[in-house]
């Protein structure tokens, strides 16, 4: 049972890393400074960052050890979430990108993402 759960967790992390890479590309195409770095080719961890406007930064980290969402403004931490809450917040960002036309994205993302 534990071997199966470990394998499912590895697959989950890999899927999350691939989605973070795709989100970074979409954000870059919409004019944001965004990046997603992974270590090696196993895709078992990633560091995703996006600058939404001057001084407003989102950092999302995923690895075998955990998942965190950190939102900062003017180098001060506004919010830090972990696990499922962090993923829900990431979904909120993805939804904004998905449902707002390209030309309106910058205006919509100026709103705080804190829910």
How do the domains of the chain map onto residue ranges? 2-108
pLDDT at 105: 56
pLDDT of residue 5: 95
Dist CA 105 CA 96 (whole Å): 8
**Residue 91 to residue 15: CA distance in whole angstroms:** 14
Alpha helices in the chain (DSSP H): 2-29, 83-99, 105-108
Q: Above 70 in pLDDT, residue 13?
A: yes
Q: How confident is the model at residue 66 (pLDDT cuts 50, 70, 90)?
A: very high
For 70-108, what is each residue's pLDDT tens digit? 999 999 999 999 999 999 999 999 998 888 766 655 555
DSSP SS3 for 42? coil
Please write the tens of the pLDDT for every residue from 36-61.
999 888 889 999 999 988 889 999 99
Q: Is the pLDDT of residue 115 over 50?
A: no
């Amino acid at each position: 049972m534990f071997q199966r759960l470990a394998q499912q967790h590895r697959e989950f992390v890999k899927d999350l890393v691939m989605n973070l890479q795709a989100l970074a590309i979409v954000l870059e195409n919409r004019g944001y400074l965004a990046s997603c770095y992974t270590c090696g080719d196993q895709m078992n961890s990633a560091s995703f960052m996006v600058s939404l406007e001057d001084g407003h930064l989102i950092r999302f980290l995923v690895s075998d050890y955990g998942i965190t969402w950190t939102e900062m403004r003017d180098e001060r931490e506004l919010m830090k979430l972990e696990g499922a809450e962090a993923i829900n917040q990431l979904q909120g960002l993805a939804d904004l990108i998905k449902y707002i036309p390209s030309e309106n994205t910058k205006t919509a993302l100026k709103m705080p993402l804190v829910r």
